[in-house]
Amino acid sequence: MSVEPRFLQIHALTPYAAALLNRDDVGRAKRLPFGGAERTRVSSQCLKRHWRRAVDEWSFDQLGVPLAVRSRITFRKEIAEPLVAEGLPVDLVVTVVAALQAKLLGESAKAEKERSQKKGKQGEDSASDPLERLDTNQVIVLGRPEIEFIKNAARDLARDSAAVKDATKAAETYIKDNRANLEALSKASGLDGALFGRMVTSDYLARGDAAVHVAHAFTVHGEEAEPDYFTAVDDLRQSAGEMGSGLIATSELTSGLFYVYVVVDVPLLVSNLEGCDARGWRDADRDLASRVVEHLVHLIASVSPGAKLGSTAPYGYAELMMIEAGARQPRSLANAFLRPVPTRGDLRANAFRGFGEHLAGFDRMYGRRELRRFASMVDPGALPADPAEGLDALAAWAAGLVRDGGAAA
14-32 pLDDT, tens digit per residue, is: 999 999 999 999 889 999 9
| Residue type, position 228, single letter | D
Please tell me the predicted confidence (pLDDT) of residue 295.
98
Comparing 245 with 89, the larger pLDDT belongs to 89
∠ CA 6-11-14 to the nearest 5 degrees? 155
Average pLDDT (137-153) is 87
Average pLDDT (316-322) is 97
This prediction has a pTM of 0.86
264 neighbors 6 (Cβ within 8 angstroms): no
Q: What share of the chain has pLDDT > 90, as a percent?
A: 56
pLDDT band at 238 (very low <50, low <70, confident <90, very high): confident
Asked whether the CA dihedral 44, 323, 277, 285 is positive or negative, the reply is: positive
Comparing 335 with 178, the larger pLDDT belongs to 335
Strand bridging mode 371-376 / 386-387? parallel
Comparing 216 with 184, the larger pLDDT belongs to 216
Q: Is the pLDDT of residue 118 over 80?
A: no
Q: Please, which residues have CB within 8 angstroms of residue 57's CB and are 6 or more apart in sequence?
A: none
**Whole-angstrom Cα distance, residue 28 to residue 338?**
23
**Whole-angstrom Cα distance, residue 118 to residue 112?**
10
355 neighbors 320 (Cβ within 8 angstroms): yes
Number of H helices, E strands in the chain: 16, 12
Please tell me the predicted confidence (pLDDT) of residue 163.
66
∠ CA 227-38-358 to the nearest 5 degrees? 130
Q: Please, which residues have CB within 8 angstroms of residue 13's CB and are 6 or more apart in sequence?
A: 220, 257, 258, 259, 260, 318, 319, 320, 348, 351, 352, 355
Please tell me the predicted confidence (pLDDT) of residue 304.
92
Comparing 121 with 298, the larger pLDDT belongs to 298
pLDDT, mean over the chain: 88
**Whole-angstrom Cα distance, residue 372 to residue 10?**
10
Average pLDDT (73-101) is 92
Average pLDDT (104-119) is 63
